[in-house]
Amino acid sequence: MNLSALRDQVIVLSHEVGDFIQKEAETFSWKKIEYKGLNNLVSYVDKEAEKRLVSGLSALLPEAGFITEEDTIDKKGEAYHWIVDPLDGTTNFIHGLPVYSISIALEHHDEIILGVVHELNRNEVFHAIKGEGAFCNEHPIEVSKAERINQSLLATGFPYFDFEKLDDYMEILHDLLKSCHGLRRMGSAAVDLAYVACGRFEGYFEYNLNPWDVAAGAFLVQQAGGTVSDFKGGNDYIHGREIVAGCPIHKEMLNVIQKHW
């Protein structure tokens, strides 16, 4: 498989679907939203974008299966799976907040080998293939070289439907807020991770996540020289619903999280 050529084709596809999303953003109405659960919003834009991505990715790699947010396809692959979020940051999109993205990863036997996160409003495509570094558009990127939390700007996400561990989470925020330059909540896990990969954030952590939220972004961080783990320090961050990603401050972040989790 020519991963470089495949990545380039995925980027072209992300631009095509991104153009559709941005055109719909111009006339989007609250009347067009649906609720999948408490505060879990979806629209026809998410569903149509996913259908277009699935169609395009199927043409590029017919043998691959899919893990997708909107369940527009039920197909298992033998060795390959596309992990797709057609619109990561749906709530931002619906409210007109310009932070949302397309996230696409290719998994081969439980290992991510390709990742693309396309932030549509700045038209930045973060991409990587295994062993060849990470890029923003055509420019190489790498994680920040900051070594301590007191040198860092961090990103996170807030729970919006499962509040069982909210008190523990607030204790983590309490400790980190006193130690870092600031905490940001962008509303798109894929964008948060892409920004860690390019050094805009030194670290990111969140729980209650899904594979399509983090697969591509976590891969970008790793290919950009960063470290990714679950809250226990293990490798179950794609399917384990929790993630810590960062530059050299990763271990210090993990110590703070584990004190309360």
Domain boundaries, the chain: 3-141, 149-260
- CATH code of the region 149-260: 3.40.190.80
* pLDDT per position as a tens digit, 10-19: 999 999 999 9
Q: What is the pLDDT of residue 134?
A: 98
Buried b (16+ CB within 10 A) or exposed e, 3-17: beebbebbbebbeeb
* pLDDT per position as a tens digit, 82-109: 999 999 999 999 899 999 999 999 999 9
Q: What is the pLDDT of residue 39?
A: 46
Q: Could you say which of 3.30.565.10, 3.30.70.260, 3.90.700.10, 3.30.540.10 is the CATH number of the domain covering 3-141?
A: 3.30.540.10
Structure token digits, residue 185: 């909540």
Q: Which ranges of the chain have pLDDT less than 50? A: 39
- E strand residue ranges, 185-246: 203-207, 227-229, 242-246
Rounded Cα distance between 162 and 124, Å, is 31
Rounded Cα distance between 38 and 36, Å, is 7
Strand pairing report for 227-229 and 65-68: unpaired
